[in-house]
Amino acid sequence: MRQKSLVVAVVVGGMVAVVPRVAVAADVSCSANVYKRTFYKNTSFSGSPVRSGCDSAISESWSGSPGSGVPSNKFGVRWSVTRDFGSGGPFTFAASATDGIRVYLDGKRKIDLWKNTGDAARSKSVNLTVPAGRHTLRVDHVNWSGAAKVKFSYTPRTSATYDKVKPLAPSGVKTAYDTKSRRTTVSWGANKEMDLAGYTLYRRPVGSGTWTKVAATSARSHTDPLVNPDDRTAYYYEVRARDKAGNTSGGSSDVIVRPLPVVTSLSGSYDKATGKATLKWPQNTEPHFDHYTVLSNDKVDDSYQWVPLGTTKGNTWTTGPVVADGEWGHYRVLVTNDGGTTTYNPAWLDATATNELWLEIPDGIAPSYAPDLSLGTCADGVRATVSDTTPAPVRDFTGFEIERREAGTEVWTVVLRQGYDPRAFTATASVCDVLPADGRTYEYRARSYDAAGNYSPATELRTVTRPVG
């Protein structure tokens, strides 16, 4: 054991002399759950310790000095350890020693045998409940004279009669899916229970509430013998701990295993300037991810089909130019794992699928031709009527607009803008444009428009002269 040798300087006859002081034990750092041991040259544990070290157990028998710097009689030794007791529960503390021994839990004395006994050891045990979590044990032993013998142990009571405390649920559950064997390996962190008997692994399919026992094991990992038939069925796994009294913990946090990585969300935008759609989705990081396939739902041979646009390992895709026809664009992103299996790709559209996007493409195409316009008379004005005989199923306009201006001027005035009865064989709209009877001449024109505000070509000008009243 290394020790710190301290010195003091004193002045003797005008000269400085160095005088050694009592050696002080260097501090030590012990491993988890291992006692730190310190020796004192007195039985009051006062002053600085003269030796320190680490002990995995307290079980000593010294017939003389227990170490350099420690006297054979009238010395003290203290052990302490702070550890995690997991869920806690019933324990037995057992102590045996010559002369004095005291045992403390979190500073509270639990055993007190403090009397000079010479070379005759005596013992005591107590049953108590240790709360869950981290706690500190301290054992003090003094030797006044003769042999120094000391033992201490703390052990869980594992009988079901006494232990009713459930162990803590395991934590740190991880999974790995092997696309060659199509099996899942589950691993988890060590449980902190001191009376652990083992673990039980459970599985259930996503969408089911029934757990199936996979295996009971004392190890901290297990490979599920279930072979996933097509790499597509997802399962939840959880681990439960059991102690020697037969108590079982709650389940660990459920961990989902998807043999195929999935696209959890898909978004997109349309660029009017380029006419292209850009798709985005979260990048998959599973070790068995290989690549994506991007598809578009397009009309092929008079039927709509999912057509592959290409593959990528990234999480964005820009399409080629898309016709701005006001229709919905339908896109889907599939995942292929390193075993060569790809996400199920049904032929139909699925509005609820996370890997499918319905993107509204703005309408950039105007109605292709002008409607018909006729003029007549009505009370106090001009009757203007617009119509279109395009069959209802293929009409690409939603309404009509009629404008009028006085001949020889440039400013147009809208006298009608309205929709039409979609049930009628001929789409039509009409307005009585009230005008003074003053002999002036007026010009009219009409257009159809679609839902996006695109206009058809205008009709040829129609002219009417109001009579003089």
**What pLDDT, in 10s, does the model give residues 203-212?**
999 999 999 9
What per-residue string of b and e applies to 25-61 under the rule 16 or more CB within 10 Å gives b? beeeebeeeebbbbbbbebeeeeebbbbeeeeebebe
What pLDDT is attached to residue 21?
34
How many angstroms separate the CA atoms of 423 and 392, rounded? Answer: 8
**What pLDDT, in 10s, does the model give residues 289-340?**
999 999 999 999 989 999 999 999 999 999 999 988 888 899 999 999 999 9
Question: 139, 116, 222: which is closest to 175 by C-alpha?
Answer: 222
What pLDDT is attached to residue 325?
84
Q: Which residue has the higher pLDDT, 302 or 460?
A: 460
The yes-or-no verdict on residue 359 having pLDDT over 90 is yes
CB 50 within 8 A of CB 140: no
How many angstroms separate the CA atoms of 442 and 384, rounded? Answer: 12
The yes-or-no verdict on residue 65 having pLDDT over 60 is yes
Question: 356, 133, 161, 398: which is closest to 265 by C-alpha?
Answer: 356
> Mean pLDDT across the stretch 112-132?
95
Location of structure tokens 């009592």: 22
Inter-CA distances, 406 with 377, 386, 441, 465, Å: 17, 19, 6, 10
Which residues are within 8 A (CB) of 401 and not within 5 positions of it... i.e. 6 or more apart?
414, 416, 417, 446, 447, 448, 449, 455
DSSP state letter for 437: S
**What pLDDT, in 10s, does the model give residues 152-172?**
999 999 999 999 999 999 999
> Mean pLDDT across the stretch 340-348?
94
Q: Quick check: pTM over 0.85?
A: no
What phi and psi values does residue 161 have, to the nearest 5 degrees?
-65, -35
How many angstroms separate the CA atoms of 243 and 248, rounded? Answer: 7
**Can you tell me whether residue 257 is helix, strand or coil?**
strand
> Mean pLDDT across the stretch 17-42?
75
Pairing outcome for strands 356-360 and 328-337? antiparallel
The yes-or-no verdict on residue 82 having pLDDT over 50 is yes
> Mean pLDDT across the stretch 231-240?
95
> Mean pLDDT across the stretch 373-401?
94
pLDDT tier for residue 25 given thresholds of 50, 70 and 90:
low
Pairing outcome for strands 303-312 and 24-25? unpaired
> Mean pLDDT across the stretch 428-439?
96
Stretch (H or E) spanning 388: strand 381-388
What pLDDT is attached to residue 394?
84
DSSP state letter for 392: G
pLDDT tier for residue 16 given thresholds of 50, 70 and 90:
very low
What pLDDT is attached to residue 56?
97
Its CATH architecture, for the domain 3-156, is: Sandwich (2.60)
How many angstroms separate the CA atoms of 377 and 381, rounded? Answer: 6
pLDDT tier for residue 229 given thresholds of 50, 70 and 90:
confident
CATH of 372-465, one of 3.40.50.10420, 1.10.3720.10, 3.30.420.40, 2.60.40.10: 2.60.40.10
The yes-or-no verdict on residue 263 having pLDDT over 50 is yes
How many angstroms separate the CA atoms of 41 and 67, rounded? Answer: 11
Inter-CA distances, 209 with 33, 183, 249, Å: 40, 21, 19
The yes-or-no verdict on residue 18 having pLDDT over 50 is no
The yes-or-no verdict on residue 90 having pLDDT over 80 is yes
Instruction: Report the topology of domain 174-257.
Output: Immunoglobulin-like (2.60.40)
End-to-end CA distance of the chain: 127
Q: Which residue has the higher pLDDT, 26 or 444?
A: 444
| Amino acid letter for position 399 | G
> Mean pLDDT across the stretch 89-115?
97
The yes-or-no verdict on residue 357 having pLDDT over 60 is yes
Topology alike, domains 3-156 and 267-360: no
Whether the CA torsion 243, 247, 250, 254 is positive or negative: it is: positive
What pLDDT is attached to residue 427?
96
Which region, left, alpha or beta, applies to residue 172 given φ > 0 means left and ψ of -120 to 50 means alpha? left
How many angstroms separate the CA atoms of 105 and 111, rounded? Answer: 10
What pLDDT is attached to residue 292?
98
Inter-CA distances, 41 with 38, 60, 76, 421, Å: 10, 18, 7, 108
CB 184 within 8 A of CB 176: yes
CB 255 within 8 A of CB 237: yes
The yes-or-no verdict on residue 393 having pLDDT over 60 is yes
What pLDDT is attached to residue 26?
61
What pLDDT is attached to residue 118?
86
pLDDT tier for residue 22 given thresholds of 50, 70 and 90:
very low
Pairing outcome for strands 328-337 and 462-465? unpaired
Instruction: Report the topology of domain 267-360.
Output: Immunoglobulin-like (2.60.40)
Q: 300: which strand partners?
A: 303
The radius of gyration of the chain's CA atoms, rounded to the nearest angstrom, is 45
The yes-or-no verdict on residue 13 having pLDDT over 80 is no
Question: 84, 85, 87, 83: which is closest to 248 by C-alpha?
Answer: 87
How many angstroms separate the CA atoms of 94 and 150, rounded? Answer: 11
Domain locations along the chain: 3-156, 174-257, 267-360, 372-465
> Mean pLDDT across the stretch 447-451?
94
